[in-house]
A and B are shown apart, each in its own frame.
Chain A
Amino acid sequence: MNCELAQTTVHGYFDGELDAVRSAEFERHLERCPECQTALEGIESLRTLLQQSNLYEQASPHLRERIREQLAETSSAGRLPPVYSRRWFLVPTFGVLAAAAAVLAVVFFVLQPHTHAARITAELIDAHVRSLQPGHLTDVQSTDQHTVKPWFDGKLDFIPPVSDYSEQGFPLVGGRLDVVDGHSVAALVYSRRRHFINLFVWPSRNKETIFETSGSRQGYNWIMWGSPDMEFCLVSDAASGDLRGLKDLITR
């Protein structure tokens, strides 16, 4: 027995692509065709499997970041971006380059969360740079989270989470107070090889939003993210991969 409909029509039926008449016809056929019944079960379970396996791959933060970085490079160096991939070379005409610059400008504009966030990021990077000046890094210097955490007590109207990640390669150096966007924030300092990483923490102002953005500016990388309680920003000249590693430890 070899039902032709089991190879074709059953798919259209399953996908809701048959018109009402053909669909009704097929249903009548289905009742007495075990082959089509088996086929229908098969494609149903295949779909369930595909959809439950979390296979959808969204645009990675890396891709968005790369586009953003390319634009940052372009605007600072005053030259147009390369629009070729690592393995294939496209000789760009002026039109292509102009379109490239334009689309990157558009993408940058859309991906840039909003000007407020951009200003905060700029302030956080300034705060990071300031902290690297002699004597500015920490107000409380300790690798012990049980010393650093109580130090914030009474100095802020929230308690930042403080953990040491020495074992994972990010030893806690200390903490201090800083001011960002007119508010006091907690700054925790970690070290990574010979780089310092500032973790800024402040209470969430918008309790609904969970977000994550990242980027680089003036040679510093940053990742900012928000949970319902607190917002965080890591800033450093350490590699963005290192920042992501620390972020994963913090959010674990």
Chain B
Amino acid sequence: MLEPQDRIRFEQLVLPHLDSAANLARWLLRNRADSDDVVQEAMLRAYRFFERFHGGDARAWLLQIVRNTCYTWLEKNRPSEMMTEFDEEVHQLPSTTPETLAAQADERQRLMLALESLSPRSREVLVLRELEGCSYKQIGEITGIPIGTVMSTLSRARERLQRTLTSAAAKEAS
């Protein structure tokens, strides 16, 4: 059990990042019901492991736990999404084909589907960088990607998202 002063530190340092935790989990699992369960579980893990937190970036520390909890969940419940050789071109989800995307009148909806059509590994770097505003160092810490390859991972993810959006726009025009 944690000492009372640790409990207060947990409240002050970790809990304020609940929104960040919810956002990352929502984008990794692609739906709210599952991600709420996983966030709850991740918060418990964070609390259990809080003794191992020796200062530093509390958000990155929490998000690392959230991310690992999400991946464990995905491996168990949707192993197909976790295939290491996941190829975004071949294994495109039926809901996110260019045709479906093109049919989306709503720009935001289209962007959401495009983002969800990427592999979890591409999606997470985009969410962390563009929505969460993380630095490369933080992205490396959270995802375990070596700092030297964060830039190229992000570059590939951006390119894939752009390509998905462009092909949807082309389908719409045709």
Are A and B genuine complex partners? yes
Give the residues in chain A near B131, CB-CB below 8 Å. 50-51, 55-56
Pairwise interchain contact B36-A60, C-beta atoms closer than 8 A: yes
CA distance A49 to B126 in the complex (A): 13
Within the complex, what minimum Cβ distance (angstroms) separates A6 from chain B?
9
Within the complex, what minimum Cβ distance (angstroms) separates A87 from chain B?
6
Pairwise interchain contact B11-A8, C-beta atoms closer than 8 A: no
CA distance A50 to B161 in the complex (A): 11
For window 24-48 of B, CB contacts with A under 8 Å fall at 26-27, 32-34, 36-41, 43-44, 47-48
Pairwise interchain contact B158-A43, C-beta atoms closer than 8 A: yes
Give the residues in chain B near A67, CB-CB below 8 Å. 40
Residue among B47, B126, B161 facing the most chain A CB atoms (10 A cut-off): B47
- Chain A contributes a number of interface residues (CB within 8 A of B) equal to 45
Pairwise interchain contact A11-B44, C-beta atoms closer than 8 A: no
Asked if B18 CB lies within 8 Å of chain A CBs, one says yes
CA distance A10 to B158 in the complex (A): 12
Pairwise interchain contact B19-A59, C-beta atoms closer than 8 A: yes
Within the complex, what minimum Cβ distance (angstroms) separates B21 from chain A?
7
Chain B's closest residue to A85 (CB) is: B37
The answer to whether residues A106 and B47 also contact, given A11-B155, A88-B76 and a CB cut-off of 8 A, is yes
CA distance A42 to B16 in the complex (A): 34
Pairwise interchain contact B111-A55, C-beta atoms closer than 8 A: yes
Give the residues in chain B near A49, CB-CB below 8 Å. 111
Query: Chain A's interface: helix, strand, loop or mixed, by majority?
Result: helix
Give the residues in chain B near A57, CB-CB below 8 Å. 22-23, 26-27, 32
> A106 touches which one: B11, B23, B38 (CB < 8 A)?
B11
Asked if A183 CB lies within 8 Å of chain B CBs, one says no
Interface string of B102-130 (1 = CB under 8 A from A): 00000110011001000000000010011
Give the residues in chain A near B15, CB-CB below 8 Å. 106-107, 110
Within the complex, what minimum Cβ distance (angstroms) separates A93 from chain B?
11
The answer to whether residues A50 and B76 also contact, given A106-B15, A107-B43 and a CB cut-off of 8 A, is no
Give the residues in chain B near A58, CB-CB below 8 Å. 19, 22-23
Give the residues in chain A near B83, CB-CB below 8 Å. none
Asked if B152 CB lies within 8 Å of chain A CBs, one says yes
Residue among B10, B33, B44 facing the most chain A CB atoms (10 A cut-off): B44
Give the residues in chain B near A103, CB-CB below 8 Å. 43-44, 47
Which of A94-102, A121-129, A218-226, A231-239 binds B?
Answer: A94-102
> B108 touches which one: A55, A63, A98 (CB < 8 A)?
A55
> B1 touches which one: A88, A102, A106 (CB < 8 A)?
A102
Pairwise interchain contact B48-A53, C-beta atoms closer than 8 A: no
CA distance A95 to B154 in the complex (A): 39
Interface string of A202-246 (1 = CB under 8 A from B): 000000000000000000000000000000000000000000000
Give the residues in chain B near A8, CB-CB below 8 Å. 151-152, 155
CA distance A169 to B111 in the complex (A): 35
Pairwise interchain contact B21-A59, C-beta atoms closer than 8 A: yes
Give the residues in chain A near B11, CB-CB below 8 Å. 106, 109-110
Give the residues in chain A near B40, CB-CB below 8 Å. 63, 66-67, 83, 85
For window 71-92 of B, CB contacts with A under 8 Å fall at 73, 76-77
Within the complex, what minimum Cβ distance (angstroms) separates B170 from chain A?
16
Interface string of A100-140 (1 = CB under 8 A from B): 10110011011000000000000000000000000000000
Pairwise interchain contact B44-A53, C-beta atoms closer than 8 A: no
The answer to whether residues A102 and B2 also contact, given A57-B26, A83-B44 and a CB cut-off of 8 A, is yes
Asked if A2 CB lies within 8 Å of chain B CBs, one says no
Asked if B162 CB lies within 8 Å of chain A CBs, one says yes
For window 18-73 of A, CB contacts with B under 8 Å fall at 42-43, 46-47, 49-51, 53-60, 62-64, 66-67
> Please, could you name 14 A-B residue pairs with CB atoms under 8 Å apart, sorted by A?
A11-B154, A12-B151, A15-B151, A47-B130, A49-B111, A55-B131, A58-B22, A60-B36, A63-B40, A66-B36, A88-B73, A88-B76, A99-B1, A99-B48
